[in-house]
């Protein structure tokens, strides 16, 4: 069969889909497997989108996003980071995921070497596999103080044919947060080498000891080779809206708009009105979410920290726990059996890149009583 490229022919389901899709609409399963909370998007955001529809906003719009939303993103970033982001650097893809795709298309061709800091959400690797890039996973190290990888470890793996470094901080699934000093060191190297950093910061507000995680937006200048990908899904409970934003080098504005036309001709127009409201009026909601995630983490830590079968590192950010089960050799079977016997849905470790076969991931962005019920099922399963 030659009609389809081999990269596509060989595509299978990722481990999260493989475990979850079979029981997607089964209410008896506690769904800790996906990367989203259980809250409906707040009314003030929904109402802004409804008003936009009522005003007749149903036409094509700017391929890099409506000017009102781009202005709101600039205000938000300037306020959050005490920055002055040039408006030409901001674009609005129809999801952070689409943003990662456009970055990948900009950076890499078939055979190019791409470094991915892992463990990593499986869809990211898929983006580069579609291109046919050569992917090298650089795995963070679990240490008692948290997951760690230094800029120098990343730099040591850069080759002549490396075209991009992807990193996600705060990290799904480990909760790793890249410290400012490491960001500076990596940026300095990539600036000199003109090597693209794709910094996925969709969990920027999901941190526990600060209002926001360190961002490349704070340190990259207008033409540095950095694209920061972000979105509305996580902090504003908008996973179904499919809208994100990026901060890219200024000179890429036109290219971004043109590539955006190849994908979805710009984000959904009335979702953009909701996103504008999220940025302008959403701080109280974000703070409430932060307390909820913080309590969720405390509940998980109490259950996992001293467990004799688990190696558990408390996450510094995002809203996942990624424990290792001592002696586990088949994470897919673990997740499927847990699902079928205890009715708790977790994501199997293997899907987050090499070296994770003895891990599983849960999302703790849920109502605390439900989270506790899910954890009880996991603990009983580990005892059995
Ligand atoms: C690391 C990471 N990047 C990107 C995304 C995608 O976000 P969006 O819903 O905006 O496409 C996710 C979603 O889970 C994620 O975990």
275, 241 Cβ separation under 8 angstroms = yes
374, 344 Cβ separation under 8 angstroms = yes
* For the CA of 98, the nearest atom of ligand 1: 11
Ligand 1 pocket check for 95: Cβ under 6 Å: yes
pLDDT given at position 9 = 85
Q: How far is the centre of ligand 1, averaged over its atoms, from the C-alpha of 122 (Å)?
A: 10
Q: How far is the centre of ligand 1, averaged over its atoms, from the C-alpha of 92 (Å)?
A: 14
pLDDT given at position 133 = 96
pLDDT given at position 150 = 98
pLDDT given at position 51 = 98
Atom 1, ligand 1: residue with shortest CA distance: 172
Query: Where in the chain is CATH 3.40.640.10?
Result: 43-281
pLDDT given at position 372 = 97
| Class of 6-41+284-383 in CATH | alpha beta
DSSP 34: S
Q: Is the peptide bond before 170 cis (omega within 30 degrees of 0)?
A: yes
* For the CA of 243, the nearest atom of ligand 1: 10
Pocket test for ligand 1, best of 97, 198, 206, 242 (most atoms within 8 A of CB): 97
Ligand 1 pocket check for 92: Cβ under 6 Å: no
187, 216 Cβ separation under 8 angstroms = yes
Q: How far is the centre of ligand 1, averaged over its atoms, from the C-alpha of 50 (Å)?
A: 25
Q: Which candidate, 200, 267, 274, places its Cα nearest to that of 230?
A: 200
Write down the architecture of domain 43-281 according to CATH.
Answer: 3-Layer(aba) Sandwich (3.40)
Q: Is the peptide bond before 37 cis (omega within 30 degrees of 0)?
A: no
Mean per-residue pLDDT over the chain, rounded: 97
Per-residue pLDDT of the chain (384 residues; tens, 9 = 90+): 589 888 888 888 999 999 999 998 899 999 999 999 999 999 999 999 999 999 999 999 999 999 999 999 999 999 999 999 999 999 999 999 999 999 999 999 999 999 999 999 999 999 999 999 999 999 999 998 899 999 999 999 999 999 999 999 999 999 999 999 999 999 999 999 999 999 999 999 999 989 999 999 999 999 999 999 999 999 999 999 999 999 999 999 999 999 999 999 999 999 999 999 999 999 999 999 999 999 999 999 999 999 999 999 999 999 999 999 999 999 999 999 999 999 999 999 999 999 999 999 999 999 999 999 999 999 999 998
d(CA 15, CA 25): 18
Atom 14, ligand 1: residue with shortest CA distance: 35
Q: How far is the centre of ligand 1, averaged over its atoms, from the C-alpha of 202 (Å)?
A: 6
Ligand 1 pocket check for 358: Cβ under 6 Å: no
H or E stretch covering 179: none
Task: Compute how many other C-beta atoms are within 10 angstroms of the C-beta atom of residue 146.
Answer: 17
CA-CA-CA-CA torsion for 259, 262, 268, 274, nearest 10 degrees?
-20
Ligand 1 pocket check for 125: Cβ under 6 Å: no
Ligand 1 pocket check for 14: Cβ under 6 Å: no
Q: How far is the centre of ligand 1, averaged over its atoms, from the C-alpha of 119 (Å)?
A: 14
Pocket test for ligand 1, best of 127, 231, 267 (most atoms within 8 A of CB): 231
pLDDT given at position 129 = 93
pLDDT given at position 11 = 86
Q: Give per-residue pLDDT as tens, 328-340.
A: 999 999 999 999 9
pLDDT given at position 117 = 98
Query: Where in the chain is CATH 3.90.1150.10?
Result: 6-41+284-383
């Amino acid at each position: 069969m030659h009609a389809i490229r081999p990269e596509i022919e060989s595509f299978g389901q990722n481990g999260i889909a493989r475990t979850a899709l079979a029981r997607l609409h089964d209410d008896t399963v506690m769904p800790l497997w996906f990367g989203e909370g259980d809250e409906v998007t707040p009314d003030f955001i929904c109402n802004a989108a409804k008003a936009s529809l009522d005003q007749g906003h149903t036409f094509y719009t700017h391929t890099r996003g409506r000017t009102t939303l781009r202005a709101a993103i600039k205000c938000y970033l300037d306020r959050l980071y005490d920055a002055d982001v040039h408006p030409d650097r901001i674009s609005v893809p129809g999801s952070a995921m689409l943003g990662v795709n456009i970055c990948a298309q900009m950076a890499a061709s078939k055979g190019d070497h791409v470094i991915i800091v892992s463990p990593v959400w499986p869809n990211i690797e898929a983006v580069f596999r579609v291109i046919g890039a050569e992917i090298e996973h650089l795995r963070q190290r679990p240490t008692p103080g948290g997951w760690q990888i230094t800029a120098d470890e990343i730099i040591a793996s850069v080759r002549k044919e490396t075209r991009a470094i992807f990193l996600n901080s705060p990290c799904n699934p480990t909760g790793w947060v890249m410290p400012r000093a490491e960001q500076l060191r990596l940026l300095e190297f990539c600036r000199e080498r003109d090597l693209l950093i794709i910094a996925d910061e969709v969990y920027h507000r999901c941190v526990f000891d600060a209002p926001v995680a360190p961002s490349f937006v704070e340190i990259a200048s207008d033409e540095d080779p950095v694209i920061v990908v972000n979105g509305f899904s996580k902090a504003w409970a908008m996973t179904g809206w499919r809208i994100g934003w990026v901060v890219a080098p200024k000179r890429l504005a036109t290219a971004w708009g043109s590539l955006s036309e190849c994908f979805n001709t710009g984000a959904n127009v009335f979702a953009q009105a909701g996103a504008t409201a999220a940025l302008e009026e959403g701080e109280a909601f974000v703070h409430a979410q932060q307390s909820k995630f913080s309590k969720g983490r405390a509940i998980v830590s109490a259950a996992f920290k001293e467990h004799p079968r688990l190696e558990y590192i408390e996450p510094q950010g995002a809203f996942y726990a990624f424990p290792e089960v001592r002696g586990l050799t088949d994470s897919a079977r673990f997740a499927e059996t847990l699902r079928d016997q205890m009715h708790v849905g977790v994501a199997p470790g293997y899907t987050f890149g090499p070296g994770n076969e003895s891990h599983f991931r849960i999302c703790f962005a849920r109502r605390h009583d439900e989270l506790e019920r899910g954890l009880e099922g996991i603990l009983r399963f580990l005892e059995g």
